[in-house]
Amino acid sequence: MATPYKFIDENNFKTWFLMTLFLIFVFGIGYLIAYLTGQNWIFYFAVIFGLLTNIWSYYYGDRIITFLTGAKEVNKNDLPEVYRILENLSIAAGLPKTPKLYLIETPAMNAFATGRNPENSIVAVTKGLLEKLNKEELEGVIAHEISHIKNRDIKIMMIATILAGIVAIMADIFLRWGLWSSSDRENKGNVLFIIIGFILALLAPVFAQLFQLAISRKREFLADASGALITRNPLGLASALEKISNQETEMNVSPATAGLFIINPFKNKKSLTYWLSNLFSTHPPVEERIKRLREMVI
């Protein structure tokens, strides 16, 4: 039987697995370039880059996420009622420390949690969420995010988001480097960079899908159920999910962060942004989540 402790252990294992996989990938790319160009320093650079990126992602990933989403920290005096809800629910959930509260200035309704552990965690909510949800619905959303913190989902979500994004950035760098250099002079190095860039561009969605598979969709159902148990009110979260999923407003954030939010922040199904966001999204159908919440008996 799956328990929160089992999910915590799985999340810890998957986090280290993803970080190791990323190191192997970067080392392999560095070795390939060094071998084909005869420049051994490139491999050593790849080793340093891979190690530093993993360390940076682990310890400073929350800062990267808040930068990508435009979230700004607020204190107790700025949003006293929201902070009180966050504080009370953190105590009810047994967290060792109340997460920091962040606000995203957007009319869209959404929220996410991130950080490497419960002692270093944050909960971010949008301005639209605070304006359009009632107290019970807001409690449901915050309890859901607190459950992600308690279950250690936030660490693997943070690492997966950043590492998948870095692979995509690497692809863009190699392509631009090769194309820009080839305009000055044709040589094997330029062709090599272009080829590697195209390979990385093709692999980026694959890596995104691998990271998506590593983050089980069960975590959302578990966070929904755990959040409902904390508030003793599953209908509050169900109502909030319904409102958020039916909104028309999109968020101006990186598609790589889509999987962090309680509901995918992009609505335009025909856009490239929506397609990219789905590569990083790990959410089950919201209709199924709402159905399960409304059937819960507490």
Residue 79: in which H helix or E strand, if any?
none
List CB contacts of 48: < 8 A, sequence separation 6 or more: none
d(C-alpha 281, C-alpha 273), whole Å: 12
In the chain, the largest separation of any two C-alpha atoms, in whole Å, equals 70
What local confidence, expressed as pLDDT, does residue 183 receive?
A: 47
Backbone φ and ψ for 281, nearest 5 degrees, come out as -85, 140
Handedness of CA 82, 296, 265, 154 (dihedral sign): positive
Q: Report domain extents, the chain.
A: 1-14+59-183+191-298
| Residue-level pLDDT at 16 | 85
Sequence-ordered alpha helix ranges (H) in the chain: 4-37, 40-69, 80-93, 127-132, 135-150, 153-182, 188-214, 218-231, 234-246, 272-280, 286-295
203: left (phi over 0), alpha (psi -120 to 50) or beta: alpha
From the list 136, 160, 75, the residue with the least C-alpha distance to 293 is 136
The verdict on whether 87 is a catalytic residue reads no
Report the alpha-carbon distance of residue 13 to residue 33 in Å, rounded: 31
What per-residue confidence (pLDDT) applies to 271? 52
pLDDT the model gives residue 80: 96
Structure tokens at 139: 């409690």
Coil, strand or helix at 42 = helix
Q: Which residue has the tokens 């390979």?
A: 199
Catalytic: which of 10, 137, 139, 145?
145
Question: pLDDT of the chain along its 298 residues, tens only?
Answer: 455 566 677 777 878 888 888 888 888 888 877 877 778 888 899 899 889 998 999 999 999 999 989 999 999 999 999 999 999 999 999 999 999 999 999 999 999 999 999 999 999 999 999 999 999 999 999 999 999 999 888 888 888 878 877 877 776 676 666 555 544 444 555 666 667 666 666 666 666 566 555 566 678 888 999 999 999 999 999 999 999 999 988 888 877 787 789 988 876 544 544 444 455 555 778 899 999 999 987 7
Tell me 259's DSSP state. Answer: G
**What residues does 72 pair with on adjacent strands?**
103
pLDDT at 29: 80
